[in-house]
Amino acid sequence: MVLLVNADKEFVKQVIAEVKPDLIQFHGDESADFCQQFDFPFIRALRMRDDLDISAEARAYYNAYGLLFDAWNPDQYGGTGEQFDWQRLPTERDFHLILAGGLNPLNVAEAVDAARPDMVDVSGGVESSPGIKDEHKVRAFINSAKAVAEQ
């Protein structure tokens, strides 16, 4: 998977042709028309602004492989380590829900229990220092997420 933030059309085409990813994750301000024009599997990241209409977004990105929900931060498109209210997410839905935003080994079980996502996304929450994944934190994260998911 390749993550892109507000890339232009030609760059996206170049990534598809040269990198040949399985999926593209659009994590910026890309419109549904922009994401769908490539006829290529994609995940659409949505930052949980207070006024985000999840149903409308799900309809707009109807052919996305999944919708990734992340914390809203006006200055960053992701990687903030911030959480949002997981109760805002629909438990009944017709799309793959990917949960992100401030997840770590200590809160992933609560997050999975609250949102019942199809997948979870983590990065900074399992690092020992910026950019360095900690094997024990990764293992603890996976075990916590699986334990709740299997209930």
| Element of type H or E holding 149 | helix 135-149
Q: Which residue ranges make up each domain of the chain? A: 2-149
Q: What residues are paired with 44 via a beta bridge?
A: 26, 67
Q: How confident is the model over 8-50, as pLDDT tens digits?
A: 999 999 999 999 999 999 999 999 999 999 999 999 999 999 9
6 pLDDT band, cuts 50/70/90, is very high
151 pLDDT band, cuts 50/70/90, is confident
109 pLDDT band, cuts 50/70/90, is very high
Do the Cβ atoms of 84 and 48 come closer than 8 Å? Answer: yes
61 pLDDT band, cuts 50/70/90, is very high
Q: Of 41, 89, 85, nearest to 66 (Cα)?
A: 41
Do the Cβ atoms of 120 and 112 come closer than 8 Å? Answer: yes
Per CATH, is 2-149 categorized as 3.20.20.70? yes
Do the Cβ atoms of 149 and 112 come closer than 8 Å? Answer: yes
Given a cut of 90, is residue 150 above it in pLDDT?
A: no
Return the pLDDT at 16. 98
Q: How confident is the model over 64-102, as pLDDT tens digits?
A: 999 999 999 988 888 888 999 999 999 899 999 999 999
Residue with tokens 């805002």, as numbered in its chain = 88
Antiparallel, parallel or unpaired: β 97-99 and 66-70: parallel
Range 97-108 average pLDDT: 96
For 122, which DSSP code? -
Return the pLDDT at 10. 98
Neighbour tally for 49: CB within 10 Å: 12
Question: Terminus-to-terminus CA distance in the chain, angstroms?
Answer: 29
